[in-house]
Chain A
Amino acid sequence: MATQSIWAQYSADKAYDEMIAAGGKSRDACASLSQYLQSLGMEAIKGRLSAAEAAIMEMGITFTVYSDEGNIDRAWPFDIIPRLIDFQEWKIVETGLKQRLKALNCFINDIYNEQQIIKDGLVPAELIASSSNFRQECLGMRPKFGSWANICGSDLVRAGDGKLYVLEDNLRVPSGVSYMIENRVITKRIFPELLENLNILPVDDYPTQLFEMLASLAPKPDDTPQIAVLTPGIYNSAYFEHAFLAQQMGAELVEGGDLLVKDDDCVYMRTIKGLEQVDVIYRRIDDLFLDPEVFHKDSVLGVKGLMRAWKAGNVALANAPGAGVADDKVVYAYVPEMIRYYLNEEPILPNVPTYLCSDPEQCAYVLAHLPELVVKPANESGGYGMLVGPHATQKEIRHFHKLIQDNPRNYIAQPTLALSTCPTLCGDKLEPRHIDLRPFILQGENSFVTAGGLTRVALRAGSLVVNSSQGGGSKDTWIINREQ
């Protein structure tokens, strides 16, 4: 008897599916993968899942969850079925992402200096004045290469029309890149034969690229720069990633208490030899905790005098303080304009249509259509404080109605996109689950984009929420080159 096809019951008719096209046929780039999974059969696929779970435990790939019982390390939720993107498509996305970060950096540099874009009337002055991530203290600063956001994680989604859209840009302390790399390590273990036979772009050069980028920022370029990763500590949800990146780069992993700024406005770390100067800090601490001398007075995570040292040009901070001003979801709406304004180019990657509640007309539309829209606060991360209209209760809708009326500047709304789906192992069968994609873009002296990125998957059927802090999982992402 021929084995029942593992795809027989797979129905992906609710959204664009990354692997299976309408009519049940697999997309060209995915043909080998879907046939291979078919040849394995469901029992063998489940066997590979057990192997993956064991590997995750042994490798200690965890993320920390805050809960009532304190912080717990959880095993990284991983789905073994990879998500594929064709190299031809990816080349365009890569160019589009570089273009976008370049424009964003021009914007940040402009905002802290000439503010020409405001003078030219493209961006309203109130928008910046009211941005919670605008840092007065950074006015007049010009980091090397005009590059403020050195590490950016942009979230991409594929909508029903099959096109990729930029959903948001994370320019403060975007995380997830270590999981992108570890996902590949696990996949290599559980599907070695597949990776051997297909031409898939590697992802593990990221730490090298990150190191090069950070080194390019060093104030004294002739020396071997002392690079440190500044972590809030072991209880931070991304501590695994901080340690991973420091290890991969051979950099020091430091906490605030390990550093001090002396009267010479230089940053030093406390070592067994005494004090040693630090040149570049990849900081994974939010702006407001960086320096108690300037920001939150009671912060114990940061380093007293760090801003002094940065402004004196004695240390490079990545991302630069204040870079988060472009992380604002209201600013996001202006990015296509910025690309035209600063680069004199047409944007390669489209934004998701966005309504600004600060605009009375658009706000009226949003308030009248809440059950259809996704509403996001301008400056939250991690999927907190969102309203997903179609999945919300009457009570939640009323609550957001009031929130928006009270503080329209703080909200944007977007149509609820039918995020694309990807086959995901759910119990005994493959089912479509919604996904997004977070590529990582670096900009120092040069630009770099990861080959793919972190695909996050909403593990609950129908759910659109992919954040790991909200119960989402992740998948390995393959950029597959089918040219010989």
Chain B
Amino acid sequence: MLSRSAERLYWMARYLERTENTARLISATMHLIYDLPYGVELGWRNLLNICGVEEAFYQRFKNPSEQNATRFLLADMNNPGSLLASLSFARENIRTSRELMPDEAWQQVNEMYLYANNNLDSLSNRRGRALFLQEIMAGCQRFTGFMAGAMSLSDSARFICIGRNLERADMTSRIMDFGTVLLAENRSDKMREYETMLWINVLKSLSAVLMYRKHVRNRIKGEDVLNYLLKNPDFPRAVLHCLEEITHCIKRLPHAVELYPHLEQLEQHLLAIDIQQASPQQLHQVLDGLQSQFDDLHRQIAATWFFNNHEA
């Protein structure tokens, strides 16, 4: 396939995964904050931090209120990581890759984009926002379903799979950063009291509650949750699983050998992380390190396949 097409599909998948994850994250945060009593030190500000947009937010807003934060994360086209911006980029990439995928896939994203644009007004109230997020999450899943049901396991599908899982791994590692707040030594008694509920919500944001329960079969503890999200090889949103998917796809592409050492090193690094022994501060650093390793992987993918001028 064309290098340019490969790059577009890869980014399309990343943008769409980002769209879905932004919806998941906000939805989970909304539920969490509505459940929590006053005085618990978790708020919209944490969410902005996890999404890595705190600085950009404060350039435009003073107060990290629910209204401001959700508007910035969902509908602000000045925030390139906002849900609407990600969805627009995804749609543009699909619109320009229509020759590579089933029609239904394009129509699904196009419909979702039209839906989002027509329902921006509903974002100002909680009920409308909840429905909106639900529709977006379902829409992204429908897209994945169309692809799974009607797209050959070709190189095109592999680049989509790599993009999706890289973005997903990155997002799961960001969500795990909630843990650095929830496990902080100096956390309040109120926080300790509601801890289990908080961890359940972390799992919920990744649709992982049931699978976690079936796998861990114990009362919900922070360390177990983090371990599960980091190292479970079978749960689709666990970082290790994402990495294995990426590796599986990469190994079937031409010129893949060049990437083997990096992939191996990344997996070993991941397996060596010891959650039990890490302080919240160390955990934050470990996750940061993981994210920058994913960045490196992205750069290597781009250099190998997207700017393919080997023989030119």
Contact = CB atoms under 8 A, between A and B. Distances in A.
Interface string A250-275: 01111101101000000001111111
Contacts of A5: none
Contacts of A57: 110, 114
Contact of A60 (B107, B253, B305, B312): B107
A247 B111 CA distance: 20
A270 B98 contact: no
B185 interface: no
Given A57-B114, A247-B99, 8 more contacts: A60-B95, A234-B96, A239-B96, A243-B96, A243-B99, A272-B253, A275-B310, A275-B312
B300 interface: no
B2 A271 contact: yes
A272 B6 CA distance: 7
A270 B114 contact: no
B210 interface: no
Given A57-B114, A60-B106, A269-B2, A246 B99 contact: yes
B99 A255 contact: no
Given A57-B114, A58-B107, A60-B106, A272 B310 contact: no
B309 A270 contact: yes
B110 A60 contact: yes
Q: Is the interface of A mostly helix, strand, loop or mixed?
A: mixed
Contacts of A58: 107, 110-111, 114
A143 B271 CA distance: 62
A312 interface: no
Interface of A: 57-60, 229, 234, 239, 243-244, 246-247, 251-255, 257-258, 260, 269-275
A230 B311 CA distance: 21
A271 B7 CA distance: 11
B3 A270 contact: yes
B254 A273 contact: yes
A93 to B, nearest CB: 31
A243 B98 contact: yes
Contacts of A246: 99
Nearest to A62: B95
Nearest to B307: A270
A60 B92 CA distance: 11
B190 interface: no
Given A60-B107, A275-B312, A270 B95 contact: no
Contacts of A60: 95, 106-107, 110
Contacts of A272: 1-3, 6, 155, 253-255, 305, 308
A358 B224 CA distance: 88
Nearest to A253: B99
Contacts of A273: 254-255
Interface in B93-112: 95-96, 98-100, 103, 106-107, 110-111
B248 interface: no
A275 B4 CA distance: 13
Contact of A252 (B2, B110, B114, B255): B2
A65 to B, nearest CB: 16
A72 to B, nearest CB: 13
Interface string B73-100: 0000000000000000000000110111
A25 B98 CA distance: 45
Nearest to B109: A60
A254 B8 CA distance: 13
29 contacts: A57-B110, A58-B107, A59-B103, A60-B106, A229-B99, A243-B95, A243-B98, A247-B98, A247-B100, A251-B99, A252-B5, A253-B5, A260-B312, A269-B2, A270-B3, A270-B4, A271-B1, A271-B3, A271-B308, A272-B1, A272-B2, A272-B155, A272-B254, A272-B255, A273-B255, A274-B254, A274-B311, A275-B311, A275-B312
Interface residues of B, number: 27
A57 B114 CA distance: 8
B107 A270 contact: no
B19 to A, nearest CB: 17
A270 B2 contact: yes
A207 to B, nearest CB: 11
Q: A-B pairs with the 10 shortest C-beta distances?
A: A246-B99, A247-B99, A253-B99, A273-B254, A243-B98, A272-B305, A60-B110, A275-B311, A270-B3, A272-B6
A4 to B, nearest CB: 36
Interface in B268-307: 305
Contacts of A255: 4
- Please indicate which of the listed interface residues B1, B2, B5, B308 has the most CB atoms of chain A within 10 Å of its own CB: B2
A253 B101 CA distance: 12
Contacts of A252: 1-2, 5, 99
Contacts of B305: 272
A320 B185 CA distance: 75
Contacts of A258: 2-4
B310 A274 contact: yes
A8 B96 CA distance: 47
A257 B305 CA distance: 15
Contacts of A253: 5, 99
A309 to B, nearest CB: 15
A214 to B, nearest CB: 15
B107 to A, nearest CB: 6
Nearest to A248: B99
Contacts of B114: 57-58
A274 B308 contact: yes
Contacts of B106: 60
Nearest to B254: A273
A257 B308 CA distance: 12
A239 B95 CA distance: 10
A335 to B, nearest CB: 35
Contacts of B95: 60, 234, 243
Contacts of A271: 1-3, 308
Contacts of B5: 252-253
Interface string B246-258: 0000000111000
A281 to B, nearest CB: 14
B101 to A, nearest CB: 8
A295 to B, nearest CB: 22
B297 to A, nearest CB: 17
Nearest to B111: A58
B115 to A, nearest CB: 10
Contacts of B96: 234, 239, 243
A130 B182 CA distance: 80
A274 B3 CA distance: 9
